Structure 1
Amino acid sequence: MTAEVPARAVPGMRGPDVGRERDGARPTLVWDVLRDVVAARAAQSGRAALDIVDVGGGTGGFAVPFAALGHHVTVVDPSPDALAAARRRAAEMRVTLTEVQGEADGLDSLVGVDAADLVICHSVLEYVDSPAAAMAAIARVLRPGATVSVLAANVVSAVLQRALAGRYEQARRLLDGEGGDAGLPRRFTLAGLTALIESAGLRAGDAHGIRVFAGLLPAAGADQGTAAELRALEEAAAAYPPLRDIAARLHVLGHR
């Protein structure tokens, strides 16, 4: 792969439409937030090209667009198949990624201490053996003034989904912290994610809810005629605390 940046990859591009989050939702709002974080960090540091680490980066849905903007991006993932897919996607976009196979709790030993301006940790904490150990490793990777972007499944949304579907016992078990559904990944509350970030010595920053209504209503967005209205509503609800807190996914920034 070459380091050539394609002509269509210019500042202001609308999100990593080349990829989707693991739950299938296009993460446009998350991309907009991170683009602002990166712009602010670049201005603060005086470096146009930042060092970005995407832990659990999967097939490169965020990594490739950031590389296309000229940043140095490292994708860390335990799956060699996911890394191979990220490599293919990067080749299609004619950008360079650094790929490292490994786990989140060993991130500092894989990429180094004080090595990143931004760490992306999306759909990772649900699956790792120890979220606290993973977050501590991420904190060691961040440079002073750097940011981690955490995206995780929300237990409140899961409880509401099951209650609305008449699965009351599963909803109660989730609410009681018993897991609800065997074999499914762990989920978090906003308070829990914030505490996890702060316990690693980081300062919790802005929080947003992702898929407030689409997460609760299976048919939401099915009508293409109202899709734009739903997107506008989702964006308005994302930072509105009572609605943010019941979103399918929670997005929280942590700052060193």
Structure 2
Amino acid sequence: MVWEVVRTALERRVAELDQPVLDVLDTGGGTGNFAVPVAKLGHRVTVVDPSPDALFALERRAAEAGVTELVRAVQGDTQTLPELITPDSVDAVLCHGVLEVVDDPAESLGHLAATLRKGGLVSLLAANRNGAVLARALAGHFEEARTVLGAPDGRWGAGDPMPRRFTTEELHGLARAAGLRVESVHGVRVFADLVPGVLVDTEPGAMEALLKLEEAAAAEPAFHAVATQLHLLAALD
């Protein structure tokens, strides 16, 4: 679902600018799960990631896909972004699974927005606090569910592997503070993390049916609260 939203948004931006090649920044893009498919569409992609191992894997994947000339790997993070990327030089930014782990989400998103040209796009994917409440409760961890509900960082305790989670309202607020206008919100993994894996693995056609259900529910606001992740598409005014 996230890929379809990103692909469609890039196609729209190409049409708006009347240019076939966009400059895309993928922060925390790691091994290129999104960067390489974006490059295969013909766009130039710069991946900024703190892990040299991930960047090495990215370069290998780009070579295998035949898009080496379109993918640039840069070691760094959102804090060093102003030193790495020229302001007003990017048409789209991918920020997936980054705001959860940075020291200052507002500052990081501000640095990302500063790289955008006017009208540039941001694809923002982040962990959903309310989805974690439901998941912990269904697992029988009721105290942890209540902790997530009230904790400022959306964590259920010291053993929680996720450094931070967000509500839809919090992500909207961060986007506005960075000068971004939210165009759409989708829930990601609304049902997938709640359905028993054995059911999906053993029932004929269950996986395909689950994917279709996820696609149908993703854009429905009523289901955003229970999704594992939230995906926002925003633009720089």
Instruction: Please classify the TM superposition score into its range, dividing by the shorter chain length.
Output: over 0.9
Residue 217 of structure 1 deviates from its aligned partner by 2.6
- State the one-letter code of the partner of 2:3: W
Which residue identity does 1:214 align to in structure 2?
A
Equivalents in 2 of 1:199, 1:110: separation in Å?
Answer: 22
| 1:230 and 2:230 matched | no
CA distance in 2, matches of 1:51, 1:245: 33
Alignment match of 1:210 (pick from 185, 188, 193): 188
Matched, 1:40 2:1: no
1:83-232 equivalent positions in 2, closer than 5 A:
83-96=55-68, 97-177=71-151, 179-182=155-158, 183-184=160-161, 185-219=163-197, 221-222=200-201, 223-232=203-212
* Superposition deviation, residue 225 in structure 1: 2.2
After superposition, the C-alpha distances for 1:139-191 in whole angstroms (9 at most, x for unaligned) are 10111011100001111111101111110111111001152132522111111
Identity level (%): 50
- Would you say the 8 A contact 1:157–1:216 is kept in 2? no
Q: Which has the higher helix share?
A: 2
Q: Secondary structure at the match of 2:95?
A: strand
- Once residues 151 and 224 of structure 1 are traced to their aligned partners in structure 2, the CA distance between those partners, rounded to angstroms, is 31
Deviation of 1:224 after TM superposition, in Å, equals: 4.6
TM-score, normalised by the number of residues in structure 1? 0.86
Cα distance between partner residues in 2 of 1:159 and 1:62? 28
The 3-state SS of whatever aligns with 1:43 is helix
Q: Deviations over 1:75-132 (max 9, x none)?
A: 0001111100101100111112111111113323211101111100001111111101
Gaps of at least 5 residues in structure 1 are 1-28
Residue 221 of structure 2 is aligned to residue 245 of structure 1: no
Q: 1:101 to 1:236 in 2, by over 3 A?
A: same
- The amino acid across from 2:29 in the alignment is G
Aligned CA distance change for structure 1 residues 169 and 64 (closer, same or farther; 3 Å): same
Q: Distance in 1 between matches of 2:193 and 2:116?
A: 32
User: Is contact 1:160–1:216 with CA below 8 Å preserved after alignment?
Assistant: no
Q: Which secondary structure state, in structure 2, belongs to the residue aligned with residue 169 of structure 1?
A: helix
Q: Is the 8 A contact 1:157 1:215 kept in 2?
A: no
Report matched runs for 1:52-71 at 5 Å.
52-71=24-43
User: 1: CA distance between counterparts of 2:6 and 2:187?
Assistant: 15
**2-side partners of 1:157 and 1:221: how far apart?**
20
Counterpart residue type for residue 187 of structure 2: G
8 Å CA contact 1:105, 1:135 repeated in 2: no
